[in-house]
Amino acid sequence: METVFTKIRAGAIPSAKVYEDEICFVILDINPVNKGHLLIITNEVHPTLADTPDEVLSHLLVIAKKADAKLREVLGCAATNVVINNGEASGQEIPHLHLHIIPRYTDDGKRLTFPKTHYDEGEIVALGKRLEFE
pLDDT, position 106: 96
pTM of the model: 0.92
C-beta separation of 61 from 69 below 8 A: no
C-beta separation of 100 from 68 below 8 A: no
Helix, strand, coil percentages (3-state) for the chain, rounded to 5, are 30, 20, 50
- Cα–Cα dist 108/113, whole Å: 14
pLDDT, position 58: 98
At residue 126 the predicted structure's pLDDT band, cuts being 50, 70 and 90, is very high
50-106 residue pLDDT tens: 999 999 999 999 999 999 999 999 999 999 999 999 999 999 999 999 999 999 999
Instruction: Please give the DSSP secondary-structure letter assigned to residue 95.
Output: S
Catalytic (active-site) positions: 98
Cβ count within 10 A of residue 104: 16
**4-109, what's its fold?**
HIT family, subunit A (3.30.428)
Instruction: Pinpoint the alpha helices (H) of 3-122.
Output: 4-10, 54-75
